[in-house]
Amino acid sequence: MENFLVNISIDDVTPHPFSSTKVLDQCFSLVDKFPNIKFTLFIPTSYWRTVKPSIATNRPLQLDLFPEFCKEIRDLPAENFEVGFHGHHHGIPGKSDNDELRDLSYAQSKEIIAVMRKIVKDAGLKDVYKPIIRPPAWRMSPEAIRAFRDENFQIFALSPDDYAVSTYQKEHLKRNDIVMYNVCPPQKPLKLFDKTEIVYHACEWDKNYLSPTLKEDLSHFLEYNSGKINFAFMQDMV
């Protein structure tokens, strides 16, 4: 029987009241049913929504200022959860809630990497974060890709969609360190691939939010295909 690797990633897990660890309730419900399930959480180091008033915060949500959030992340069972980087602010304050890495120069990218690492260290999460980067809104300049590689990031969790790939300018093709998503409910429905990267969001305003309804859909899908699935962390998906 054919085996399919499956990883489930969740973007924008943050201290934001509407993009928070509440999503972990759905994750733990799935852990109870599938004890070997693997989640990759992508956590910005200082999430800051500034453009849309209904979800904007008046200051960046810098991780080391939220010790309870950090403890919750530290206490996650390592057999089921790993954590990757998802930018610093996620957006460009005052201009965009996304696209932080889209137009960066090599030098600017190195600066952001240094800032992210300092916050992670100050938050007591240095041993929790893995050298995995998923760019906010998927877009990332070729200079940023080079900088992250030079700073020993080992896995790039990217998008195969044209609007994102066009920003990579083929730089992503130069090494075998890429994991492309292929499932994003409900826009890209649940389906098995040899390496199945299923993406959800923690932000409750997103159609892709891992709500109880989407969690139930995922649970039924995993149960139906249980004999074909091997759950995997990102390293096994490369």
Own/partner pairs for 63-72, CB < 8 Å, 24+ apart? 63/15, 63/119, 63/120, 63/122, 63/123, 63/125, 64/119, 64/122, 64/123, 64/124, 66/15, 69/14, 69/15, 69/21, 70/123, 70/124, 70/125, 72/21, 72/24
pLDDT of residue 2: 76
pLDDT tens figures, 25-53: 999 999 999 999 999 999 999 999 999 99
pLDDT tens figures, 13-28: 999 999 999 999 999 9
Instruction: Indicate the class that CATH gives domain 4-237.
Output: alpha beta
The CA-atom distances, in angstroms, between 25 and each of 55, 86, 212 are: 22, 21, 9
Report the pLDDT averaged over residues 116-126. Answer: 98
Confidence tier at 1 by pLDDT (50, 70, 90): low
pLDDT tens figures, 195-230: 999 999 999 999 999 999 999 999 999 999 999 999
In the numeric block, the tokens 């999430």 are attached to: 47
Q: Domain spans of the chain? A: 4-237
- 10's enclosing H/E stretch is strand 4-11
Whether pTM exceeds 0.85: yes
Query: What is the chain's percent helix, strand, coil content, to nearest 5?
Result: 35, 20, 40
**Percent of the chain residues past pLDDT 70, beyond the cut:** 100
Are 146 and 140 in contact by the 8 Å Cβ rule? The answer is no
Q: For residue 165, give the nearest of 141, 201, 186, 198 by alpha carbon.
A: 141
